[in-house]
Amino acid sequence: MRTRFLELSVGAFIVMGVIALVMMALRVSGISAQGAGETYKIQAYFENLGGLTERAKVSMSGVTIGRVTGIELDTEDYVAVVEMEIYKSVDTLTTDTSAAILTAGLLGEKYIGLTVGADDEYLQEGDVIEDTQSALVLEELIGQFLFSQAEE
Amino acid sequence: MVNQLQQLGRAGLERLQSLGRAGTFLVGSVGWGGPGSAGFRDLITQIYSIGVRSLSIILVAGFFVGMVLGLQGYTILSDFGSEAALGTMVSLTLLRELGPVMTALLFAGRAGSALTAEIGLMKATEQLSAMEMMGVDPLKRVITPRIWGGFIAMPILALLFSLVGIWGGAYVGIQMLGVDEGAYWGNMQASVEFYDDVIKGLIKSLVFGLVVTWIAVYQGYDSIPTSEGISKATTQTVVVASLSVLGLDFVLTAIMLGGV
């Protein structure tokens, strides 16, 4: 009876550890159960990312519809190439959709905001968003402001 | 003057010799055998007395630490108008630092001192010598299951500590201070990485588990077999184990963050 209790409680202890690890994965670090088959990839070229990172959100009207999966520099045109995964459930993004790098709050993290256009055709796997707007970089803004002040 | 120098040298040599004994002790007891070499029944008994019995103190401490983090974090973050980052702050603090470290410190006090006293008393009552007389290796029979027990129990305890702490922070932040529930969990999920934060914290607690149990059983095994010697060894366990955990934590963090 005594050893039975001992083994049961140790078993429960180890099961608790496994459950805690799974909870950490799902609830805390937010690894979603969605498989790779449920998204499609599109690209966008930006002149300046201004602190956008991988795994950043891609949202439309404030609703998250995907994630940034890769950031590279195009060494021919010297622009940033951002690859993002969009959920399959949102497969009606028009080809003239525009992308902008926005900031959540004043000090928050950068994310990509998509605004839908009016075209008839939809973006497919591997398509490129043409109409993009770079991140606002404070130094550049101040520079432009001072420059225009000096001209007056 | 020469006398003092001699004393200093002798103390240094004794430390070095003790470290060497501790090293051969670890290799002799654990070797390269894996947890199976400890014997299943003994291992279960040790995980029970080291892990399961520590559960209550770990869970209660974790909940309160999480609550305090929630309260302190809220006060600091609300100065910058970013209470929404509370979940991120609480979870990263717990997963990366406080979970492994606090668990190891509590573990050293709760389970480590008990291990030292138990083995010290075994030595004082000559149970260990009796085993040797019977041809049973006391290292394998007594020490091995205890070290493996601590090694297995510590990461589970640290995970539970962090998990309960995150719930504690959520309770204070959401129920008492009015942080948005979606922001708490959402920002946490956006910034906590499974490998970088959860797994690296787990690696820390594995190292701490080995080091704390090793120090505890070694202090007991090496103690002077009198009541005074055992009490000294128990104190020594808590002091040495706590300092080792804090020192190692810096080294491990530096390696993991790659900053140094």
Q: Which DSSP state fits B173? A: I
Q: Helices (DSSP H) in chain A: which residue ranges?
A: 2-23, 138-151
Query: Does A107 lie at the interface with B, CB-CB under 8 angstroms?
Result: yes
Per residue in B74-100, pLDDT (tens digit) is: 999 888 878 888 999 999 999 999 999
Cross-chain residue pair A28–B193, CB shorter than 8 Å? no
User: What ipTM score was computed for the predicted complex, to two decimals?
Assistant: 0.74
Distance CA B162, CA A12 (A): 18
Which 3 state secondary structure label does DSSP give A102? strand
Cross-chain residue pair B48–A9, CB shorter than 8 Å? yes
Residue A36: the pLDDT is 47
Chain A: closest CA distance from residue B14 (Å): 40
Query: Does B38 lie at the interface with A, CB-CB under 8 angstroms?
Result: no
- Could you tell me the two tokens for B30? 């654990």
- Whole-model pTM? 0.75
- The confidence band for B38, taking pLDDT boundaries of 50, 70 and 90, is low
With tokens 């520099």, the residue in question is A73
Q: Is the pLDDT of residue B142 over 90?
A: no
Cβ–Cβ < 8 Å for A44, A72? no
Across residues A52-65, what is the average pLDDT?
84
Which has the minimum average pLDDT: A140-144, B130-134, B150-154? A140-144
Residue A32: the pLDDT is 58
What is the side-by-side order of every strand in the sheet holding A39-46? A128-129, A39-46, A79-87, A63-74, A57-60, A110-115, A98-103, A131-133
Cβ–Cβ < 8 Å for A32, A67? no
Q: Is the pLDDT of residue B1 over 70?
A: yes
Q: CA–CA distance from A54 to each of A49, A60, A87 (Å)? A: 11, 18, 16
Among candidates B44, B155, B166 on the partner chain, residue whose Cβ is nearest the Cβ of A10:
B44
Distance CA A45, CA A122 (A): 18
Chain B: closest CA distance from residue A135 (Å): 20
Residue B242: the pLDDT is 95
Cβ–Cβ < 8 Å for B52, A6? no
Q: CA–CA distance from A23 to each of A68, B164, B213 (Å)? A: 24, 11, 27
Residue B192: the pLDDT is 84
Measured between CA atoms, the residue of chain B closest to residue A17 is B156
Residue A107: the pLDDT is 64
Q: Is the pLDDT of residue B130 over 80?
A: yes
Q: Which residues of B touch A21 (CB under 8 A)?
A: 159, 198, 202
Cross-chain residue pair B155–A6, CB shorter than 8 Å? no
Q: Is the pLDDT of residue B114 over 50?
A: yes
Query: Does A27 lie at the interface with B, CB-CB under 8 angstroms?
Result: yes
- Could you tell me the two tokens for B222? 């090496």
Cross-chain residue pair A9–B194, CB shorter than 8 Å? no
Cross-chain residue pair B52–A27, CB shorter than 8 Å? no
- Work out the number of other CB atoms within 10 angstroms of the CB of residue A55: 12
Q: Which DSSP state fits A91? A: -
- Work out the number of other CB atoms within 10 angstroms of the CB of residue A51: 12
Query: Does B136 lie at the interface with A, CB-CB under 8 angstroms?
Result: no
Q: Is the pLDDT of residue A33 over 70?
A: no
Which has the minimum average pLDDT: A30-34, A132-136, B148-152, B213-217? A30-34
Chain A: closest CA distance from residue B200 (Å): 13
| Top-ranked range on mean pLDDT: pick from A28-37, B79-88, B194-203, B211-220 | B211-220
Mean pLDDT score across all residues of chain B: 89
Mean pLDDT score across all residues of chain A: 83
